[in-house]
């Protein structure tokens, strides 16, 4: 202890000595600084540098002036080229408009030519009978002249008169056909409505095609006109009522074509359809409602030519397109409603309803049910075949199932007991709607919600900690996969206490 004290005293002495030395050095430095004389700054002018900078400045001015001249020249050139390009653009637009006019004129000529060829075939069949009788009469006239005068005289030019008459008849028939097609298109575009649950437009088109023998024609423009009419008619894709009308007409016309047309190898049975729409069309063809359809006389199979078969393919594509538009339009209207159907609204109304043992769906679920009612009424009013209505609602319910189930998986805050009760009440409304809408129109749409139903059934169970993994996989959630079980292992339900369930995966 004594040693430490002595060492401390020595260190204090050394510190005081060093402090005194530092003070002395600082004072000496101040004195030396005061004795140093001030240095005056004397400006030095470098004439050479000034001259050099002046010369460089002059060079830069010259460069700027030359650049300004070049800029002016380029602006003038740009104006000239822009004027020239505008003139050429006008010429190109004029040429394009002329080309379009020529193409339309050429298309009209091709249509007239095809119609003339079709009518030529018809006239040939009609001329077979008149030609045979004409030849017989000419032979008798020539024989009588030979017997009376002893020599042959040239016969009357009946063949030339016949060709002129044929041309006039052919022209009049082509004009009548064009007028008939125009009248048909105008009639169908004005929405003639329905008669005894059948679309008048589709049956009118079919009867006209049968009467004109268009299915058996090698070349005709009637099918192109009809396809153009359908394409222009479905441009208004936002109106589901309008699209349902055309879905009814096009699907019925396609059904009639399937009952009528056959290819060159029609003796063999056609292969079973593999696409979704092919199976749906086959179901429509074999449905009991379609078996009762009659079109005046009994439908007879016709060996169709290439234009008719091509028209059938194009019509099939249009039916698929219209079907998808009707379905997707409803999905767009449904999407904002589903986002608010997964989480229960905050407030006392829901708590009071839960206290009585049941929950009432909010406005979003009621809006969904009202939207489903509106779509079903639209499809019924336009007499869309039930097989199409079933498929539309089946895919819509599948879409609802995907949206709700993914929301439960991705949003942990939605996996609560109160939200489970809320979604369960909404699903009960959908089940009630399916029962009221009849199976003829909704089919097995309710089964598409099985994943969401099982997930919600798990959420609303009390005392989840007592449920085993086997009970969940075998009884409660048969349709869920292992990833879904893992997600639901994070469940946190709010009742009187916080319950946590840990599933052994």
Kindly give the pairing relationship between strand 261-262 and strand 302-303.
parallel
Query: DSSP per residue over 335-365, as a string?
Result: HHHHHTSSSPPPSHHHHHHHHTT-----HHH
Tell me: do 290 and 410 sit in the same domain.
no
Residues 233 and 315 in one domain: yes
Is there a contact between 396 and 331 (Cβ–Cβ < 8 Å)?
A: yes
pTM above 0.75, yes or no: no
Token couple for 58: 């002059």
Q: Which has the higher per-residue pLDDT, 170 or 223?
A: 223
Alpha-carbon torsion 6, 7, 12, 17, what sign?
positive
Q: Considering Cα of 293, then 296, then 301, then 305, what sign does the dihedral take?
A: negative
380 found inside a domain:
yes
Report the pLDDT value the prediction gives residue 308, as an integer from 0 to 100. Answer: 92
* pLDDT tens, position by position, 423-463: 999 999 999 999 998 888 998 899 999 888 888 888 888 76
More confident residue, 372 or 267: 372
What pLDDT sits at residue 227? 94
pLDDT of residue 90: 87
Which tens digits make up the pLDDT trace of 473-495?
Answer: 666 666 555 555 444 454 433 33
Tell me which of 300 and 436 has the higher pLDDT.
436
What distance in Å separates the CA atoms of residue 93 and residue 286, rounded to the nearest whole number?
Answer: 54
Same domain as 394, residue 314: no
- Same domain, yes or no, for 351 and 411? yes
Given a cut of 50, is residue 206 above it in pLDDT?
yes
pLDDT the model gives residue 401: 92
Look at residue 360 and tell me whether its pLDDT is greater than 70. Answer: no
State whether 244 and 123 are in the same domain.
Answer: no
User: Would you state the pLDDT for residue 39?
Assistant: 52
CB 202 within 8 A of CB 250: yes
Burial class (CB within 10 angstroms; exposed 0-12, middle 13-18, buried 19+) of 19: exposed
d(CA 161, CA 155): 13
Q: For residue 142, tell me if it sits in a domain.
A: yes
The answer on pLDDT for 107 being more than 80 is: no
Least-confidence region, from 142-156, 259-273, 429-443: 142-156
pLDDT of residue 302: 87
Q: Supply the pLDDT for residue 476.
A: 63
Least confident residue range of 105-119, 138-152, 420-434, 485-499: 485-499
* Average of per-residue pLDDT across 266-271: 45
Predicted pLDDT of residue 375: 94
Q: Which of 219-233, 254-268, 433-447 has the lowest mean pLDDT?
A: 254-268
From 102, 105, 119, 104, select the one nearest 219 (Cα to Cα): 119
Domain shared by 109 and 133, yes or no: yes
What string of H, E and C letters represents the secondary structure of 407-444? HHHHCHHHCCHHHHHHHHHHHHHHHHHHHHHCHHHHCC
Q: What is the pLDDT of residue 224?
A: 93
- Report yes or no on 225 lying in a domain: yes
Q: What single-letter DSSP state applies at residue 190?
A: T
Q: Please determine, for residue 467, whether its predicted confidence score (pLDDT) is greater than 60.
A: yes
Residue 358 scores a pLDDT above 50: no
Q: Would the pLDDT of 44 be above 70?
A: no
Domain identity same for 367 and 287 = no
Where residue 92 falls among pLDDT bands split at 50, 70, 90? confident
Q: Is 90 exceeded by the pLDDT of residue 116?
A: no
The answer to whether residue 451 sits within a structural domain is yes
Whether residue 258 is contained in a domain is answered as yes
Q: Which residue shows structure tokens 């740009």? A: 78
Lowest-pLDDT range of 10-24, 296-310, 436-450, 456-470 = 456-470
| Structural domains counted in the chain | 3
Minimum mean pLDDT among 7-11, 200-204, 306-310: which range? 7-11
Domain carrying residue 442: 340-460
- What average pLDDT does range 85-114 have in this prediction? 80
Q: pLDDT band at residue 293, thresholds of 50, 70 and 90?
A: low
Do 353 and 454 reside in the same domain of the chain?
Answer: yes
Integer CA distances (angstroms), 467 to 200, 327, 342, 458, 473, in order: 60, 40, 24, 10, 11
Note whether 448 and 400 are same-domain residues.
yes
Domain-embedded: residue 359: yes
Taking residues 206-231, report their average pLDDT: 91
Residue 361 clears pLDDT 70, i.e. is over it: no
Tell whether 322 and 346 lie within a shared domain: no
Based on the fold, state whether residues 429 and 368 are members of the same structural domain: yes
Least confident of 14-28, 368-382, 384-398: 14-28
Identify the top-confidence range among 43-57, 159-173, 208-222, 257-271.
208-222
The answer on 239 and 141 residing in a single domain is no
pLDDT at 158: 47
Q: Does residue 242 lie in a domain region? A: yes
User: Residues 305-329: what's their mean pLDDT?
Assistant: 94
- Does position 275 have pLDDT exceeding 80, yes or no? no
């Amino acid at each position: 202890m004594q040693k430490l004290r002595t060492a401390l005293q020595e260190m204090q002495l050394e510190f005081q000595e060093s402090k005194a030395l530092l003070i002395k050095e600082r004072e000496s430095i101040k004195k030396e600084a005061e004795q140093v004389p001030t240095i005056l700054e004397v400006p030095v002018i470098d004439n050479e540098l000034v001259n050099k900078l002046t010369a460089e400045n002059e060079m830069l001015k010259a460069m700027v002036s030359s650049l300004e001249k070049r800029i002016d020249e380029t602006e003038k050139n740009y104006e000239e080229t822009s004027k020239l390009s505008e003139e050429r653009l006008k010429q190109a637009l004029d040429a394009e408009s002329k080309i379009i006019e020529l193409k339309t004129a050429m298309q009209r000529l091709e249509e007239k030519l095809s119609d003339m060829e079709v009518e030529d075939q018809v006239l040939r069949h009609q001329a077979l009978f008149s030609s045979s009788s004409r030849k017989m009469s000419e032979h008798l006239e020539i024989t009588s002249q030979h017997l009376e005068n002893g020599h042959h005289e040239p016969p009357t030019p009946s063949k030339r008169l016949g060709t002129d008459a044929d041309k006039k008849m052919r022209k009049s028939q082509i004009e009548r056909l064009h007028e008939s097609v125009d009248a048909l298109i105008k009639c169908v575009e004005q929405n003639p409505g329905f008669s005894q649950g059948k679309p008048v437009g589709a049956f009118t088109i079919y009867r006209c095609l049968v009467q004109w023998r268009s299915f058996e024609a090698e070349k005709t423009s009637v099918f192109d006109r009809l396809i153009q009419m359908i394409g222009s008619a479905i441009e208004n894709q936002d109106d589901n009522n309008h699209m349902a009308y055309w879905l009814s007409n096009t699907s019925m016309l396609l059904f009639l074509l399937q009952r009528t047309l056959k290819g060159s190898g029609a003796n063999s049975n056609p292969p079973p359809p593999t696409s979704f729409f092919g199976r749906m069309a086959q179901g429509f063809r074999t449905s009991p409602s379609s078996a009762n359809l009659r079109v005046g006389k009994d439908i007879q199979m016709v060996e169709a030519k290439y234009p008719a078969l091509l028209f059938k393919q194009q019509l099939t594509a249009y039916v698929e397109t219209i079907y998808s538009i009707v379905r997707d339009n409803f999905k767009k209207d449904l999407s904002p409603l589903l986002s608010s159907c997964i989480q229960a609204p905050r407030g006392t109304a829901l708590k009071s309803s839960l206290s009585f043992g049941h929950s009432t769906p909010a406005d979003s679920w009621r809006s969904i049910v009202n939207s489903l009612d509106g779509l079903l009424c639209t499809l019924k009013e336009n007499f869309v075949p039930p097989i199409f209505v079933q498929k539309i609602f089946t895919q819509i319910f599948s879409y609802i199932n995907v949206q709700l189930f993914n929301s439960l998986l991705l949003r942990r805050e939605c996996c609560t007991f109160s939200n489970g009760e809320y979604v369960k009440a909404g699903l009960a409304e959908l089940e009630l709607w399916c029962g009221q809408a009849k199976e003829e129109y909704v089919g097995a749409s309710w089964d598409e919600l099985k994943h969401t139903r099982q997930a919600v059934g798990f959420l609303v169970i009390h005392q989840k900690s007592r449920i085993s993994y086997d009970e969940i996989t075998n009884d409660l959630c048969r349709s869920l996969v292992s990833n879904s079980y893992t997600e639901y292992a994070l469940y946190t339900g709010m009742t009187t206490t916080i319950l946590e369930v840990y599933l052994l995966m």
